[in-house]
A and B are shown apart, each in its own frame.
Chain A
Amino acid sequence: MAFRFIHASDLHIGRKFANIPQPQDGNIRGRLMEARHGAIGRLASVASDQGAAHVLLAGDTFDTATPSSTVIRQALAAMGEASEVTWWLLPGNHDNLRDAEPLWEAIARDAPPNVIALTEAEPRDMGDAATLLPCPVAFRSGASDPSERLVTMASDEGKLRIGLAHGGVTDFTESGASIAPDRDRTARLDYLALGDWHGRMVVSDRVHYSGTPEQDRFKHDRRGVCLAVSIEGPGIPPQVEGVETGTFLWVERDLPLHSRQDAAAALRAILPETGRRDVLLRVAVTGWAALPDQVDLQRAAHRCAPDFAHFELKTDLLRTQYEAADLDDIDRGGALRLAADALMEEAGADALSEEDRAVAADALARLYSYVREAAK
C-alpha cells in the first residue's frame, strides 16, 4: 500500500497584510488573514480526501518569529481538531530556531498530540513505512545548505526516506546557503519536501516545492496549492498531485496599450468575469495612450475597482500620446492652451528629470480632465 502524505509550506499564519490598502468600508486585510488561517482546515480536508495521515509543513508556518499567542493557539487548535492527521512543523527562516525560540517552546508546551515540532535535525519515525528527516532552520540567514545533514542522517532499513527542508535551490546571493537540487540522490531520499518558494515548483521527480496553500503576492498567477504525495515504496518515484487550496487569487495582468486604442475597452477585456470578490488584481499598463484615453482608462478602473478584493492600476510605465485634438479639447488658443503647451513641452523635455517630466505630464492630464468635466 502506498504511503500518502500532504506536502505544504509557507502558511505564514498571522500575516497582517498591512501594506494592502483597505477601503474604509472594506475588510480585505481581515479576509486575507482569515484565509491563511483557513488553509489549515483546507489542508486537513485535502489529507482526508487523499487518505493521507501526515501533513508536512516545510517551514514558515508562522509569518514571524513571535506571533501573538492568539495566532499560535488558534492555529494549534485548528490542527488539533484534525486529529486523524499528524502535523509535522519544520522551522523555516521566518520562524527559525534562534529567533523563534519562544514560539517553538510554546508549541512544545501547548501543541496537541498530533502536532510535532521538528526542532532537531534528527530522524523521526512516521510509522512503519517512512522515516522523516527534518532540517530545521537555525538562523534567519544561514551560510550553508540546510539539507546537507540529510546525507549522514540514518533511517531504518526498508523505510522510505523523506527529507523536509526550507530554503532556495538557487543561490542568488552566492552565500552557499542554497539547497543542492540533487539532494535526493546524495541523501538517498525518496522525496524531498521543500519550502520557502511560494509558488509551486518541481525541481526533480523527487524534489518539490509545494508553494503556499494561500497566495500572498502578485507573482505566481494562480491560487495556492498543496501537494498530495503518494509513494509505493523505497526507490519508487513518488506520485505528486497539486491540489488547489487557495481562497484568493493574486494576479497581475499586463495591459499594453497603443495610441488610438480604446483603453477602457482593453482594460475590461482582461478582467475576469466572475469571482472578482476573491481576486486581487494588479494591472500594469504600458505603452502609449492619448489624454482622453487615459481619462477613460482611469474612469473604467475606478468603476470596476470595487468589484475586486483589491484592484491596482499601475500607470507609471504608460506614456502619453499627445495629439493636437486633445490639446484643442482643452482650448484652441488663449491662456489654457498656453498652459497646456507649456506642460506638454515639459513632459517631453529631455533636460528635465524623469520626476519633473512625470509631474508635467500628470498636470497636463489633470488640466484635460478639469476642462472635460467642466464641459459636461
Chain B
Amino acid sequence: MKIRAVSLNNVRRFTHPARVDQVADGLNVLCEPNEEGKSTLFDAIQALFFKPHGSRDKEVSSLRPHVGGAPEVSVEVETEDGRFILAKRWFQKPFATVHRDGGLVAQSDEAEAWIGTLLGGDAGGPSGLIWVRQGMTDLTAGSKKEQDAALEARRDLMTSVGAEVEAMTGGRRMDAALARCREELANYATATGRPRANGPWKEAQDRVEELALRRNGLATTAQDLHDALAERKRARRDLRELEAPEAAQERRERLEAARTAHAAAERHAEKLEAEARKVEMARLTMDAARTRLESLHATLTEQSEATRLVADAEADAKEQQELLEQQRTSRDEADRAFQAAEAALKDAERGNALALRAKAALDGADRRKELSERIAQAERARSTMEAAAAARRGPDAETLRRIEALAAAHAAAVAARNASATQVVARYAEGREGAIRDGDAPLPAGKPVPLARITHLMIKGVGELEVRPGEAGDDHSVEAAAEKLRKALGEVDADDFDDARAAADVRAKTERRHDEAAAVLASLAPDSIDALRDALGRIPELEEDCEAPDPEEAEAALDRAREAREAARLARETAMERFSDLRNAASRAEATLASLRDRLARAEAALAKSGEVSEDDLATEARQAVDVHEAAKAAHEEKARNAPDLAGTGAVVNRAESVEQQARDEITRLKPLLARLDERIGRSAGDAVEERLAETEQELEAAEGTLARIEHEVAVLTRLEKALEASRNEARERYFEPIAKELKPLLHLLWPDAELTWGEESLLPDKLVRNGQSEPIDILSGGTQEQIALLVRLAFARMLAASGRKAPVILDDALVFTDDDRIERMFDALHRQAGDLQIIVLTCRQRAFRELGGKALRLEPVTAANETEVC
C-alpha cells in the first residue's frame, strides 16, 4: 500500500478543507514550520486507519477543532488492486467509506474491516513500528498500550518474516514450557537455586532436620532408659547379695575373730614396750655416771693450766707498763722540736717574700721604661694614621684608569672628526704672517687646521672669512665623549686628565703613609695601646725606704727551714705511733691477766664444789651402771623374739571393719539409687520413649524419602530449565538474523563495524557494540538513540515489505537531536531504504532538511482547482 493523497476537513486548525497530494513513491518530505499542521496530518492518518468511525475516544476527540464540528479525513491509497479512497467522519453523521474509481466499495463496518486488513494485524498493526509520532522517537516511548502494540507488531513481524522463526525458538510453546518449568521450580527454589523459604523443599529439609534431632534426642533418652534398666538390674543384684543373711553372718564372724587376735597382739606389745623402757633407763644411768667421772678429770686439768698462765700474764703486764712510760717522754720531746721548726719556717717565709718583692720592683723599672716608650711611639703612629686618613682625597687608581680611558676616547673622537673635517692651510704672504686669526690666535702658517664647526677667520685688513664645514663636521660623538670625560673629571673635582692624575698621585702617597703608620702601630701594640698601659700598671714600683735581704739567701734559708720542719713532723709522728702501740699492748696484757685470773677462780670453785666425792667412787658407780644396762637389753630382746605381728592383726581388723562398713554404705547407697532408678525408668517407660523413637524413625525415613524425591524433582526442573535456556539461546541468534542482516548496512552508514544486540523479550536492540565495546542503548546520547531508533524502524519497514505487507513509513520530526554531520548520513539511510519503500517525512527543520532531497509535499487549502479531488 502506498499513500497518494491525504485530505482533512474540520480537523483541529483545518476548519476548511486542506490537502496533501501527489505523494510519490520513495522519499517524500513535508517541511513546514511549527503549528502548520504536520502532527495533525499524522494523527489524522493514524485515526483513519485505526479509529472506528463510531469512536469518540480522546484521540478522536482531539481531532475536533475548537469551534467544534465533525472531523473528516480521507486518504487515497494505491494497492496492487488499484487506487482507493478511504474516508471517515467522526461524531456528527459519522461514516466510513471505501471508494474506487468513484464507486463505493465498502462502507461502515465493512469499510472498517476493509481498512483493517489493508495494513494487517491487530492492535495497531505496524503503525507503532514504522509510524513515528512527534516526540516518540525512542523505541520504548509511548503508553503501555502503545508499547505492547509495538512489541506485538515486532513479534508478529519477526514471526512472519522468518519461516523458521517459530520452529526455531519454540515460540510461545517454548515460552509456555519454560514458564511452567520456572513456575514449578520457583515453588521449590529461589533464583539462586537455594531452597525457598516456606517452600516444600525447605520444609522437607527442615522436617528431616527436625526429625533427626528428635530421633537423636529420643535415642539418647532410650539409651538412658536402657542404661537405667541395666544399672537397676545390677543394683538389685548387689543389694540382694549384700542383704543376704548368710553373707551378713560371715562378715560379722570374720570381724570378731580379727578383733580378738588383734587384742592379744596389743597386750604383748605393751609388755615389750615396758622392757624397752627399762633398757632406756639403765642406759641413761650409765651415761650419767660416766659423765660425772669425766667432768672431775677435766676440772683438775683446768686448775693446773690456769695457775701457770696467770703467772706468765702478770710478768708480761709489768714489762709492758715500763715500756709505755719510756715512750711517753720521747713523744713529748719530739712534739716540742716540731713546734720550734714551725716557728723558724714562718720567719724564713717572711724574709723570702720581702726579698722577692724588692727584686720584682728592681726588675720592673726597665720594663716600665720600655713600655712607656712603646706607648709614646704607638700614640705617634696612630696620629700619623689619622692624619693620613684625613688627607686621603683624589681619584683612586681605578677611577683614574676610567678617566684615562674616557680621555683617550675623547681624543680619538676629536682625531676622527678632524680627519674628516674641513681644513684650512694658511700660507701668508711675506710680511703678513699671522694676519689670519681664528679668534685671538693666528692661524699657523702651512699647517692644516681642521674646522669642525662654522668658524669666523679674521683676516686683518681684509675682513672676516666664514668657513662652513658642511655635514662632515656635524659629528656629535666628540661632544658625547667630551661630556662623559667632563662628568668623570667633575666627580673627582679635576679640570682635566693631568689634574686628575696629579690628584691620584697625591692620594697614593697619602695611602702609603697611612699604611706605614698602621704597620708601626701593629708592631708596637699588637693588642692595643690600652693593653700596653694595663701591663705598665701591673709592674710594682720600688719601695725606697725598705731594706730587703738578698733573694737567693732568703730562698736558701726558706728551703732549710722547710726541711727542718718536715723532719720534726716525721719524728713527732713516729714517737706518737710508738706510744700508741705500747699503750695498746699494755692494755691487752692487763686484759689477758684478768681473764686468766677468772678462769683459775672458776676451776678452783668447781673443785671446791665436788670435793665430797672421790674419783674412785665415781669410777665404781660407772662400772655398775654398765652391768645393769646389759641385763635390761637381754631381757627386752627375749620378749621381742616372741612378739606377734601387731600391724598384721590390725590390718585384718581394718579390712573386716571396712568390708562391714562398705556393705552398710552400699546398702545405704543402693536403696535410694534404686528408688531413683525406679522413678526414672517409670518416667521414661511412661513416656513411651521406644514407641516414640520407632515412630520418629519411621517419620524420618518417610521425610528423607520425601526430601529425596523433592531434590530429584528440583534437579529435574533445574536441568530442564537449563536445557531450554541453552537451546533457546542457540536459536535466538538465528531468530534475529533477518533484522540484523537488514540493519547492518544502515548501521554502517553511521558507524563502520557497529553491531546491535537484541533483547530477548522486548525484541528491541539493547546494546550497541562499537570497536568491541558494548554500550547499553539507554546510556547513549539522545541523538544516537534517535538515530538507532530510526534505522531500526527502517529495517523493520523493509522486512515488512519483504513479507508482502508494504506500508509507508511516516516519520513526524523523527530526527530532533541529530547533528549536521550525522543527519547527512541519516538522509543517505532514508534514501537507501526509499528504493522500494514509501517514506513520508514530516519536519519543521526546514534548513536542516533542505539537503534531504526527495519529493517535496505541501499541505495546502483546497482551492477551486483541486476541490473536485476532495472527498
Which residues from chain A sit less than 8 Å from chain B, CB to CB? Answer: 14-21, 63-69, 71, 98-103, 106, 331-339, 342-343, 358-360, 362-364, 366-367, 370-371, 374
| Chain B neighbourhood of A14, CB < 8 A | 688, 691
CA distance in complex: A17, B170 (Å): 47
List, sorted by A's number, 21 A–B pairs whose CB atoms are closer than 8 Å. A16-B691, A18-B696, A18-B702, A19-B701, A19-B702, A21-B702, A66-B691, A67-B690, A68-B688, A98-B230, A101-B681, A331-B173, A332-B167, A333-B167, A333-B168, A334-B170, A334-B171, A338-B726, A338-B730, A364-B720, A367-B720
A63-B173 contact in complex given A19-B701, A20-B702, C-beta closer than 8 Å: no
CA distance A153 to B173 in the complex (A): 80
CA distance A345 to B864 in the complex (A): 78
With most chain B CB atoms within 10 A of its CB, the pick from A21, A333, A370 is: A370
Chain B residues near A21 (CB, 8 Å)?
Answer: 702, 706
Please measure, in the bound complex, the distance between the C-alpha atom of A64 and the C-alpha atom of B164, giving whole angstroms.
68
> Once bound together, how far apart are the Cα atoms of A122 and B169, in whole Å?
82
Given A338-B731, A343-B720, A15 and B177 contact (CB-CB distance below 8 Å): no
Whole-angstrom distance between the alpha carbons of A374 and B226 in the complex?
Answer: 60
Task: Give the nearest-CB partner of A334 in chain B.
Answer: B167
What total of chain B residues lie within 8 Å of the partner, measured CB to CB? 53
Instruction: Report chain A residues within 8 Å CB of B686.
Output: 68-69, 102
Q: Chain B 161-183, CB within 8 Å of chain A: the 1/0 string?
A: 00010111111011011001100
Is B257 an interface position by the 8 A CB rule?
A: no
The one of B177, B225, B684, B688 that contacts A71, using a Cβ cutoff of 8 Å? B688
**Cβ–Cβ contact B690 & A374, under 8 A:** no
Give complex CA distance A338, B722 in Å.
Answer: 12
The 4 closest A-B pairs by CB, nearest first: A102-B685, A68-B688, A338-B727, A64-B690
Closest approach, in angstroms, between the C-beta of B208 and any C-beta of chain A? Answer: 13
Contacts of B225 in A (CB 8 A): 66, 99
Q: Given A68-B691, A336-B177, A359-B715, does the pair A331, B723 have CB atoms closer than 8 Å? A: no
Q: Does B448 contact A (CB under 8 A)?
A: no
In the assembled complex, the CB of A69 is this many whole angstroms from the nearest CB of chain B, namely 6
CA distance A374 to B170 in the complex (A): 13
Interface flags, B398-417, vs A, CB<8A=1, else 0: 00000000000000000000
Closest CB of chain B to A375's CB: distance in Å? 8
- A residues near B684, Cβ cutoff 8 Å: 66, 102
Contact assessment for B698 and A71 in the assembled complex, using a CB-CB cutoff below 8 Å: no
B689 close to A66 (CB less than 8 A): yes
Whose C-beta in chain B lies nearest to the C-beta of A70?
A: B688
Check if B671 is an interface residue, CB within 8 A of chain A.
no
Contact: A339 with B698, CB < 8 Å? no
Q: Which residue of A lies closest to B699 (CB)?
A: A18
A64 engages B168 (CB within 8 Å): no
- Besides A336-B724, A363-B719, 19 new A-B residue pairs in contact (Cβ under 8 A), listed by A number: A17-B698, A18-B702, A19-B705, A21-B706, A64-B690, A66-B222, A66-B225, A66-B685, A67-B690, A69-B688, A102-B685, A333-B164, A335-B170, A335-B731, A336-B727, A342-B723, A343-B723, A367-B181, A374-B180
Whether A102 touches B682, Cβ cut-off 8 Å, given contacts A339-B727, A343-B719, A359-B712, is: yes
Does the CB pair A374–B681 fall under 8 Å? no
B728 within 8 Å of A (CB atoms)? yes
CA distance A311 to B866 in the complex (A): 86
Chain B min CB distance to A267 (Å) = 20
B735 — nearest CB in chain A belongs to which residue? A335
Does B30 lie at the interface of the complex (its beta carbon under 8 Å from any beta carbon of A)? Answer: no
Asked if B212 is at the interface (CB within 8 A of a chain A CB), the reply is no
Write the chain B residue with the least CB distance to A62.
B691
A51: min CB distance to chain B, Å: 35
CA distance A100 to B229 in the complex (A): 9
Contact indicator per residue, chain B 215-248, by CB within 8 Å of chain A (1) or not (0): 0000000100110011011000000000000000
Bound complex: CA A64 to CA B689 (Å): 9
> Is residue B375 within 8 Å, beta carbon to beta carbon, of the partner chain?
no
- Is there an interface contact between A366 and B693, defined as CB atoms closer than 8 Å? no
B75 at the interface (CB under 8 A from A): no
| Distance between Cα atoms of A111 and B613 in the complex (Å) | 108
Nearest CB of A to B753, in Å:
29
B431 vs chain A, min Cβ distance (A): 147
What is the total of A-B residue contacts with beta carbons within 8 Å?
150
B483 touches A (CB below 8 Å): no
CB closest residue in chain B, given A22: B702
A64 touches B170 (CB 8 A): no
In the complex, chain A residues whose CB is within 8 Å of the CB of B716: 359, 362-363, 366
Nearest Cβ in chain B — how far from A361, in angstroms? 9
* Among candidates A20, A333, A336, A343, residue contacting B174 with C-beta atoms closer than 8 Å: A336
Q: How far is the CA of A366 from the CA of B689 in the complex (A)?
A: 44
Closest to A333 in B: B167
Given that A14-B691, A18-B702, A360-B719 are contacting pairs, would A339 and B176 also be in contact in the complex, using a CB cutoff of 8 Å? no
Are B724's CB and A335's CB within 8 A? yes
Please, how many angstroms separate the alpha-carbon atoms of A23 and B164 in the complex? 47
B73 to chain A, nearest CB (A): 44
- Give the CA-CA distance A360 to B723 in the complex, in Å: 10
Contact A359 B167 (CB under 8 A): no
Nearest neighbor of A63 in chain B, beta-carbon distance: B694
CA distance A316 to B34 in the complex (A): 76
Q: How far is the CA of A24 from the CA of B176 in the complex (A)?
A: 31
A71 to B694, CA, bound (A): 14
Inter-chain contact B699/A19, CB cutoff 8 Å: yes
Q: Is the CB of A363 within 8 A of B688?
A: no
Nearest CB to that of B177 among chain A residues?
A370
A63 to B728, CA, bound (A): 57
Answer whether residue B695 sits at the interface, using C-beta atoms and an 8 A cutoff. yes
Q: Are A64 and B685 touching (Cβ within 8 A)?
A: no
CA separation between A18 and B207, bound complex, in Å?
Answer: 13
Write the nearest CB–CB distance from A64 to chain B, whole angstroms.
4
Q: Tell me, rounded to whole Å, the shortest Cβ–Cβ distance linking A347 to chain B.
A: 10
Contact in complex: B168, A335 (CB < 8 Å): yes
In the assembled complex, the CB of B734 is this many whole angstroms from the nearest CB of chain A, namely 9
Question: Is the pair A99, B685 in contact by a Cβ cutoff of 8 Å?
Answer: no
Chain B residues whose C-beta falls within 8 Å of the C-beta of A69 in the assembled complex? 686, 688
Q: In the assembly, what is the distance between CA of A65 and CA of B724, in Å?
A: 54
Complex Cα spacing A321 to B659, Å: 83
Chain B residues, Cβ within 8 Å of A99: 225-226, 229, 690
User: Which residues of A sit under 8 angstroms from B691, Cβ to Cβ?
Assistant: 14, 16, 63-64, 66-68, 71
Asked if A335 and B720 sit within 8 Å, CB to CB, the answer is no
Flag whether B799 is at the interface (Cβ < 8 A): no
How far in angstroms is the closest Cβ of chain B from A74? 13
Residues of A with C-beta under 8 A to B727 = 335-339, 342
B810 to chain A: which residues have CB within 8 Å? Answer: none
Contact with A67, one of B688, B701, B705, B720 (Cβ below 8 angstroms): B688
Instruction: Report how far A38 CA is from B464 CA in the complex, Å.
Output: 181
Q: Does B717 contact A (CB under 8 A)?
A: yes
Q: Is the CB of A359 within 8 A of B719?
A: yes
B169 x A334 contact (CB < 8 A): yes
Q: How far is the CA of A358 from the CA of B712 in the complex (A)?
A: 9
Contact of A335 with B174 in the complex, beta carbons under 8 Å? yes
- Chain B residues in 8 Å Cβ range of A101: 229, 232-233, 681
Q: How far is the CA of A69 from the CA of B682 in the complex (A)?
A: 11
Tell me, in angstroms, the Cα distance from A62 to B222 when the chains sit together. Answer: 16
User: What residues of B have a CB within 8 angstroms of the CB of A336 in the complex?
Assistant: 170, 173-174, 177, 724, 727
The distance from the CB of B868 to the nearest CB of chain A, in whole angstroms, is: 56
Complex formed: what's the CA distance from A330 to B696 in Å?
44
Residues of B within 8 A of A66 (CB): 222, 225, 684-685, 687-691
Q: What is the CA–CA distance of A370 and B176 in the complex, to the nearest angstrom?
A: 8
Could you tell me if B164 and A334 are in contact, using CB atoms closer than 8 angstroms? yes
Which residue of the partner chain A has the closest CB to B169?
Answer: A335
Other-chain contact of B698, A19, A333, A363 (Cβ < 8 Å): A19
Question: In whole angstroms, what is the CA distance A334 to B705 when docked?
Answer: 37
Complex CA distance for A21 and B225, rounded to whole angstroms: 30
Q: Which of A19, A21, A360 has the most CB of B within 10 A?
A: A19
A64 to B219, alpha carbons, bound, how many Å? Answer: 13
Name, among B682, B699, B724, the residue most crowded by chain A CB atoms within 10 Å (CB to CB): B724
Query: Smallest distance from the beta carbon of B165 to chain A beta carbons, Å?
Result: 9
